[in-house]
Chains A and B, each alone.
Chain A
Amino acid sequence: DGGITQSPKYLFRKEGQNVTLSCEQNLNHDAMYWYRQDPGQGLRLIYYSQIVNDFQKGDIAEGYSVSREKKESFPLTVTSAQKNPTAFYLCASSIPRHGWYGYTFGSGTRLTVV
């Protein structure tokens, strides 16, 4: 079955450490996105990529980095520069420029700084 997989489901990070969240899709979607969910703030866009080897900053990119070396993969690194990294992170993919199909979301990664 086609889908989008995020791993791990739960992640604990010590202050000052970088961590990488994995996102893999087998839907053959061109575009991929990273969102962060905080209580009362909805889903806020961190980074997005419309095509391999290209990505753009979203609304809250500071303290995060991404890469898009393969169509299927869009990992997110939470760096030590991110001041408040504890949140629920969601990855999504879509087909841009072919009508509207909406996003397919992964099941999320809960990151906690300890």
Chain B
Amino acid sequence: DQQVKQNSPSLSVQEGRISILNCDYTNSMFDYFLWYKKYPAEGPTFLISISSIKDKNEDGRFTVFLNKSAKHLSLHIVPSQPGDSAVYFCAASDMIYNQGGKLIFGQGTELSVKP
């Protein structure tokens, strides 16, 4: 039972354009969502997060949007740069009920930004 899904395994974007990575979830108890970026043979690094009480969070070129009614979140990268090429993981947690803070990850989307 995949509670967090990233249905696009890969995405290719031209440098300077917008990258939009999507994530769907099924558990309505999730109250915190995060995006991680991962390069090959390295551990993921935290990128941006959003609480379920918000619908948007912005950090420089990165913006995460949350649509609770659709159980959908997206990561926008504007403008995209070649250094953004990596695998992006969406993750979710139900902090209130899951005191351990356990994260559930999606399958990842490999972003390729072409010069």
Contacts and interface: CB of A to CB of B under 8 A. Distances in A.
Interface of A is mostly: strand
Contacts of B102: 33, 45, 48
Nearest to B47: A102
Given A42-B106, A100-B93, A100-B95, A106 B43 contact: yes
A76 B110 CA distance: 28
Most chain-B Cβ atoms within 10 A of its Cβ — which of A42, A88, A105? A42
B86 interface: no
Contact of B99 (A6, A9, A97, A107): A97
Interface in B56-112: 89, 93, 95, 99-108
Nearest to A108: B43
B101 A96 contact: yes
Contacts of B6: 42
Interface residues of A, number: 31
A94 B92 CA distance: 14
Interface of B is mostly: loop
Contacts of A96: 99-101
A105 B9 contact: no
Contacts of B46: 102-104
B101 A107 contact: no
A41 B100 contact: no
A100 B33 CA distance: 10
B19 interface: no
A100 B32 contact: yes
B22 interface: no
Interface of A: 4, 6, 9, 31, 33, 35, 40-45, 48, 50, 56, 88, 90, 92, 94-97, 100, 102-108, 110
Interface of B: 6, 9, 32, 34, 36, 41-46, 49, 51, 89, 93, 95, 99-108
